[in-house]
Amino acid sequence: MTVPTRARQRAADLRAQLNQHNYHYYVLDDPIVSDTEYDRLLRELQNLEASYKELVTADSPTQRVGAEPLSYFKEVKHKVPMLSLSNAFDENEVITFDRRIRERIDVDVVEYVAEPKVDGLAISLLYERGVLVRGATRGDGMTGEDVTQNVKTIRSIPLRLLGNRHPRLIEVRGEVFMTHQGFIALNKRQSSAGLKEFVNPRNAAAGSLRQLDPKLTAERPLRMFCYALGDVDARHLPESQFELLQQLSVWGLAVSPLAQLVKGVEQCLAYYRKMVAQRTSLAYPIDGIVYKVNSLSLQKSLGAVSRAPRWALAHKFPAQEETTVVKAIEVQVGRTGAITPVARLEPVFVGGVTVSNATLHNRAEIERLDLRVGDTVVVRRAGDVIPEVVTVVKKRRPRTTKRFKFPIRCPVCHSDIVYEGGEGIIARCSGGLYCSAQRKEHLKHFASRKAMDIDGLGDKIIDQLVEVGMVQDIADLYSLTVTQLAGLDRLADKSAQNLVDALERSKQTTLRRFLFALGISQVGETTAGQLADHYGSLESIMNATEDDLQSLTDIGPIVATNIFTFFCQSHNKQVISKLRRRGVKWPETEPIQRNSSKLPLSGKTIVLTGTLDAMARNEAKTRLQDLGAKVTGSVSSNTDYVIVGAEPGSKATKAEQLGVEMLDEKQFMKLLAKLESP
């Protein structure tokens, strides 16, 4: 059917009007028409689109709730990583952050943008030619989930950016959240329907955004504040963070109305104190303040360390405390066998969350607190930190309480509990892979995305595999058949085949992933990567002494002992051998004997500072380590050389004060050429 020109033009006018009204109502909180007038315009557009299907566009206000339910969320790879923020919990940490910034950029006063840290869920919005084409969760910062249909239901998110002067492609980042009022109303509806109530607004926002049916998300009172850009295709953008927020607002995106320009650390702290006082009166939950260097060019030059930018800091609000009663004390067995005591509490609302459990850390902590079942205690929660018992209110202790006796046997497998560390503080189950608690957690870790990435091997399937005795250790996974798996609950033939295929794919991995997957105590992704990069092969790592391991940067005596002990145990060697026989493999290189006494820089400690023109800092570090040097991040009297590039920081100053020999880039390149030559 041919669409009359008049109908096409009227539909375009209605879309523009409705988008403008949405902006005024949901973003500016300043409606310019009545609800009745808005509904009349929307019905007119719906009738036009019903008459002429060709008029339906992706950015039409009628399409906010129209998608079919999904069976799962697709993965989204973030082209620009969504970094997390470093945290500060007191003013001294903020002062230190500011000092480091000033030293790096060599200025007396830094201009920042300060704004409340909304307690919600980080989201990425991708616009192409002004139209919203994708919404994604942060995930692990590198990979998130596609929640496009759900973000389209959030009224404060424009389906089309306002105006015409916006980049061809732009990725906007921000926080989806729920107001206190919306949260209360949602829980009333949940309760009336006989459904489980949400614990706090953040939990409710996250759960709402991950509904497979967008119609359910549309019923939830979600909002979004935007604060940053990710991937962008544009020649001209604002030069400062504050100007960027203003530009986002012009494009129809909601930004925090409380964002403010501040100069210097004292104004940062003054803003923080003001927000602490206003916190309870705000319409939405916040858990701190974020400070960002205002200049975007300085942000770029400051860069990032690990997974956090150097130019931003989250200043968390003080911990919140409440009193409650200890109903029981139990011990839990962790993935590595660590025995952790946990206090089971009378539920209490603290720090925005209903708390019913609190960590007691270890046996020594229970003794220090003199904690007993039945005691009234003060519980503290700060941000996302696990709740903990601060103190016992002994004046309210009942006469019937008894001291807690730490168990001598594992509550799961009944193996002996052994004690490590000073005065036996650290308790571990000696059952190893024979302990079903450890076995399940070990398998879950092994199959996780950052480890072997076995798609479809979820917690419930692992629980069944262990409980029916089909898997005794991680190597047994690779002998599972479709017939065996199809006999489990919730696994049909097709799902079983998919899991077998996923197991087969996971056999092709990398050494760093495999090391991380083994679940060695305190060996995370970074340490696993460092081991893989340094030694090149598993055999070299397995044969390394504790002294060898400690020579690596950031590996101290405790981690070195954990690694060495792990590879000394015969049952671990047997499992690794089984894994390799069943086809698990990765590319290996010859081990790099960086710490051999035969290497020219053996025993030398070197520090890098500033920017090098000839190579990246990581490359310079690797080449120095290949020559036997220990490359550290701080200057001391034990430092042999400091390599000084352009715009050096305080390390150069400290080296000069200590009389440490400094080499500029030209001298450094000559040294490398001399030592690396055959």
Q: Tally the C-alpha atoms within 13 A of residue 293's C-alpha that lie toward its C-beta.
A: 25
How far apart are the C-alpha atoms of 252 and 156, rounded to whole Å? Answer: 9
CATH architecture under which domain 605-676 falls: 3-Layer(aba) Sandwich (3.40)
Cβ contact 206:73 at 8 Å = no
Average pLDDT over residues 508-521: 90
Assigned CATH for 320-422: 2.40.50.140
**pLDDT of 235 over the 90 cut:** no
pLDDT tens digits along 492-512: 888 899 999 999 999 999 998
117 or 59: which carries more pLDDT confidence? 117
Taking the alpha carbons of 273, 274, 280, 282 in that order, is the dihedral positive or negative? Answer: negative
Distances (CA, A) of 567 to 140, 464, 520, 575, 579: 29, 29, 9, 11, 15
pLDDT of residue 505: 95
Confidence bin at 71 (pLDDT 50/70/90): low
**pLDDT of 383 over the 70 cut:** no
Confidence bin at 268 (pLDDT 50/70/90): very high
CATH architecture under which domain 511-581 falls: Orthogonal Bundle (1.10)
**Alpha carbon 638 to chain centroid, angstroms:** 36
448 or 54: which carries more pLDDT confidence? 448
pLDDT of residue 594: 47
Which has the closest alpha carbon to 288: 138, 91, 28, 109? 91
Q: Which range has the top average pLDDT, 196-205, 326-335, 423-432, 559-568?
A: 326-335
pLDDT tens digits along 415-432: 777 776 555 577 888 666
pLDDT of residue 217: 86
pLDDT of residue 478: 95
User: Please, what CATH class does the domain formed by 432-506 belong to?
Assistant: mainly alpha
**Tokens of residue 611, six digits:** 């920017």
Fold of 5-63: Helix Hairpins (1.10.287)
**pLDDT of 382 over the 80 cut:** no
117 is known as an active-site residue? yes
- Exposure of 545 by Cβ count < 10 A (0-12 exposed, 13-18 middle, 19+ buried)? exposed
pLDDT of residue 501: 95
Looking only at the bridges linking them, the beta strands covering 131-137 and 121-128 are antiparallel
**pLDDT of 32 over the 80 cut:** no
Tell me yes or no: is domain 87-316 CATH 3.40.30.10.
Answer: no
How far apart are the C-alpha atoms of 612 and 610, rounded to whole Å? Answer: 7
How far apart are the C-alpha atoms of 302 and 305, rounded to whole Å? Answer: 9
Catalytic residue among 117, 292, 316, 621: 117
**pLDDT of 349 over the 70 cut:** yes
**pLDDT of 248 over the 80 cut:** yes
pLDDT tens digits along 628-677: 787 777 788 888 999 998 878 788 888 888 889 999 988 998 888 888 77
Average pLDDT over residues 243-272: 95
Cβ contact 241:300 at 8 Å = no
With a pLDDT cut of 90, the percent of the chain lying above it is 35
Confidence bin at 374 (pLDDT 50/70/90): very high
Close Cβ partners of 415 (under 8 Å, ≥ 6 residues apart): 409, 429, 430, 431, 434, 435
Q: Phi and psi of 640, rounded to 5°?
A: -90, -45
Q: Do domains 5-63 and 511-581 have the same CATH topology?
A: no
pLDDT of residue 595: 44
**Local structure of 584: helix, strand or coil:** coil
58 or 467: which carries more pLDDT confidence? 467
pLDDT of residue 525: 81
Confidence bin at 310 (pLDDT 50/70/90): very high
pLDDT tens digits along 125-172: 999 989 999 999 988 788 888 999 899 989 889 999 988 788 889 999
For the chain, what are the domain ranges?
A: 5-63, 87-316, 320-422, 432-506, 511-581, 605-676
Lowest-confidence segment of 52-56, 265-269, 583-587, 604-608 by average pLDDT = 52-56
pLDDT of residue 596: 47
